[in-house]
Amino acid sequence: MKRTIFAAATAALLATTAFADDHGMKNPMVGGAEMFPEKNIVENAVNSADHTTLVAAVQAAGLVDVLAGEGPFTVFAPTNDAFAALPEGTVETLLMPENKDQLTKILTCHVVAADVMSEALVGMIEDDGGVHDVPTVGGCTLKAMVKDGMVMIEDEQGNAATVTIADVDQSNGVIHVIDKVLLPAM
């Protein structure tokens, strides 16, 4: 039964996600922009209208050079709507220079030091009995699971984000778009 659920989840992810490969298929569009697999995470993210807050946060935290670096990285990329759902004033406060360390911690808890496509992640979830621990470069441990056919990422505060666009291939890794900001334990 579990294998059937995970197989269905994998099939659903693959059915809704276009892969950049030798067969001429393209990366998914993100924020109204084409994502190019030969560009790095930063080069692609700046073109997404849905990720302007994330880009501003990455710039404020001084992480542009890191995320434009060699990698590989997997980035769980919250949308502008995800940032807007935080309590009023949170984003503005985090973008202040005196809060750079806290902002950096939050952002690096969205980054994994590996290139993990959704099919591999679903396999790891299955191999771990339904929940897979995901260590991040920020020292957080996220929990990946499949719920109702969707990959979910739970932060250290117990909040779960849904992967809304998976497998956006980059030259230095992969982006999975999510609908919530992941937060470290307080």
pLDDT in tens, 30-54: 988 889 899 999 999 999 999 999 9
pLDDT in tens, 60-84: 999 999 999 999 999 999 999 999 9
Q: Report helix, strand or coil for 14.
A: helix
29: confidence class by pLDDT, cuts 50, 70, 90: confident
Range list of β-strands (E), the chain = 29-30, 33-34, 73-78, 111-112, 131-135, 141-147, 150-154, 160-170, 173-178
Give the pLDDT of residue 69: 93
The structural domains of the chain, ordered by start, are 2-178 (2.30.180.10)
Instruction: Judge whether 51 and 80 are in contact, CB under 8 Å.
Output: yes
pTM, rounded to two decimals: 0.86
Give the sign of the dihedral formed by CA 75, CA 152, CA 143, CA 14: negative
